[in-house]
Amino acid sequence: MPELRPRGKMVNAMNPLHPSSPFLNRELSLLAFNRRVLHLVEADDTPLLERLRYLCIVSSNMDEFFEIRVAGLMEQIHQGLPSSGPDGLPPALVYEQVAREAHALIEHQYTLLNSLVLPRLAEEGICFHRRGHWNPAQREWTRDYFFREVMPVLTPIGLDTAHPFPRILNKSLNFAVELSGKDAFGRHCANAVVQAPRSLPRFIRLPSDIAGCRDGFVFLSSILHANVGELFQGMTVAGCYQFRVTRNSELFLEEEEAKNLRLILQGELSHRQFGDEVRLEVAENCSESMARFLLDTFGLDEQALYRVNGPVNLVRLMQVADMVDRPDLRFPRFTQSIPKTLEKKASLFPALRRKDVLLHHPFESFAPVVEFVQQAASDPQVLAIKQTVYRAGTDSELIDALIEAARQGKEVTVVVELLARFDEEANINWAAKLEEAGAHVVYGVFGYKTHAKMCMVIRREDGVLHRYVHLGTGNYHSNTTKVYTDFGLFTAHPEITADVNAVFLQITGLGRHAPLRRLFQSPFTLHTELSAAIQREIQVARTGQRAHIIAKMNALTEPGIIGQLYEASQAGVRIDLIVRGVCLLRPGVPGLSERIRVFSIIGRFLEHHRVFYFRHDGAHDVFLSSADWMERNFFRRIEICVPILDAGVKRRILREGLRPYLRDTAQTWEMTGDGQYRKRQRRRGPDFCAHDFLLAQFQKRPE
């Protein structure tokens, strides 16, 4: 790979420590993504309750960032590793830059909360009453609430030789209290800790007659602060400060010890609550002495301390966006459509036998997928159903249908990925219920997450067995299909369905990898086949013909593929990359990537398609996949990539999944060679919004 030599001054705010590297830094790229999400909070055309929701989404993202990425950096520093990733930077330097960027981002987030979101909510009659502004009626009500609902479940712990610092759960709400005086036993106690039980709501709706507004709320932290002296009778409370600790939440399982993955995982999940500390959040007014005491207690340095002007956990405020009955402050509702070929069919199978059917979520409903399994469960001609489950949620009609199919005597095989991060407990529960119903439940291949989205039905028709499959770019989760953009493909193509059957046999059984006819599969052929497709475009470009690659995905981090894209650019291939989140490739750099553009779409829906297009000398090859272009997806997961063989489906994917996004100017950010993102500007006329365009194409808004 050629050395990157920027033209003129090229100060890289995303990777200032190594500006000549052909790769950007993954952690800093993640932080840049969250800054783009925060821009939606500032955007005038984002409805007010949606602004609050995006603010909370950033908090949730940042929690996971610290639990996984920052925790990984700290582990690399501890192990003395020389490099944190493809950019070649030492982990300690990355950690310093990450801390600097994260502090700035979180400070900006709370500034938006206090100076923009909360004041505008108050203008709309949605108020969060701070204790310093309570009127007498509110003060009396909150005091009564404290004695009635809060105090009985609290356990204040004074810190002395007999009362060591309590174990603090990951991301739990706690209060550090500074005290003076003597207790009933004559003991001097300077510090105490009060842990807020998770059963208590973090904000409480005030009765309408004392709220003073249409929707009035108070924070639990405000109620506890106002009444904390009641927990320490006879002593003086010098200070009370909310705090929260974020811990390393990665799970580590040893294959030789994992005789039963489900049992081992059940034991490990409880340890996630008490992993190594990586971040300490405290109230902005926390005293220096208390902050130092907490840092020393948790073994953290000053860089890990985050002072916040507001609740230490903004994620809980997400509920307000749903609780408040103000549809005028949300995105307009829309009705998900259903393809006419599948509408009101007593049986879907004849329609699917005739031709491939594409579903485009969230514009089209997930209901046909659920109905596909429900009909299979009750159809006497169906013999077997096979399904992968990565994330399905805690309430799933689809898995209920699989359970019913097993009870009806069908052969039901479900590959449940127990190690789907932060969905492990839900998947363990589903696995147990499926087994109770008589389904065959397997947990994939140890060391390789099963991330492929596949559902197959085997049906006897006229004495012959036929296979029908659904393949998706997203999870079998009915809630996320309402807000994530994804494609799902129904097909009865003999070669594709035979390949899907082979993958299922490979996962559930033993044996060597057999060549597949149509599908590309990780960890065996996906990387090789995509590399070959890029090389074909390179060869076409070198003959002087048009060559074009368009790829849409969530993340691009794999060095080998990035190197080949650089090579393709230098050969004359036009490359458009639509990468929602992390991207380590540097576009538009002279001599390296001049013909590569990178866009990030951040808007109403979470972009989740994985679509790959290669012009291939006029063949216009299109693929749908469950995989991003990351090392883990290529080499440490079981993924599939399906070629689109139906010409009509191919046209739809180009028309709906790629072209509108390349036109978008309303919600698109374009990446520069130094890793910065600029809001894309329209050349003339009004902004074009891909999401609004697709909604107009598919949906009818209610009057």
Tell me the two tokens of residue 173: 């709400």
Element (H, E) at 460: strand 454-461
Q: What is the rounded distance in angstroms from the CA atom of residue 246 to the CA atom of residue 244? A: 7
The secondary structure of residue 7, as a DSSP letter, is S
Nearest to 530 by CA among 563, 501, 507, 497: 563
Q: What is the rounded distance in angstroms from the CA atom of residue 116 to the CA atom of residue 138? A: 25
Tell me the two tokens of residue 476: 């079998």
The secondary structure of residue 657, as a DSSP letter, is I
The answer to whether residue 451 is catalytic is: yes
Query: CA 424 → CA 421, 526, 639, 663, distances in Å?
Result: 6, 26, 19, 39
Q: What is the rounded distance in angstroms from the CA atom of residue 317 to the CA atom of residue 135? A: 23
The structure tokens 């208590």 sit at 200
Give the start-end residues of each E strand in 149-289: 157-158, 174-180, 191-195, 203-205, 215-219, 236-247, 277-283
Asked if 433 contacts 248 with a C-beta cutoff of 8 angstroms, the reply is no
Asked if 638 contacts 449 with a C-beta cutoff of 8 angstroms, the reply is yes
Q: What is the rounded distance in angstroms from the CA atom of residue 221 to the CA atom of residue 217? A: 12
The structure tokens 């949606």 sit at 50
Asked if 577 contacts 583 with a C-beta cutoff of 8 angstroms, the reply is yes
Q: What is the rounded distance in angstroms from the CA atom of residue 319 to the CA atom of residue 194? A: 24
Q: What is the rounded distance in angstroms from the CA atom of residue 564 to the CA atom of residue 577? A: 14
Q: What is the rounded distance in angstroms from the CA atom of residue 563 to the CA atom of residue 1? A: 6
Asked if 37 contacts 50 with a C-beta cutoff of 8 angstroms, the reply is no
DSSP string, 598-618: EEEE-SSSEE---EEEE-GGG
Tell me the two tokens of residue 330: 């949300």
Q: What is the rounded distance in angstroms from the CA atom of residue 74 to the CA atom of residue 607? A: 30
Tell me the two tokens of residue 621: 């090859």
Q: Prior bond to 523 cis, omega within 30?
A: yes
Q: What is the rounded distance in angstroms from the CA atom of residue 309 to the CA atom of residue 296? A: 22
**380 Cβ neighbours under 8 A, 6+ residues apart:** none
Helix axes 48-64, 91-112, angle to 10 degrees: 160
Q: Which amino acid is at 149?
A: E
Start-end of H helices in 312-354: 318-323, 349-354
Tell me the two tokens of residue 598: 């990178």
Catalytic residue among 451, 470, 608, 609: 451
Q: Which residues are catalytic?
A: 451
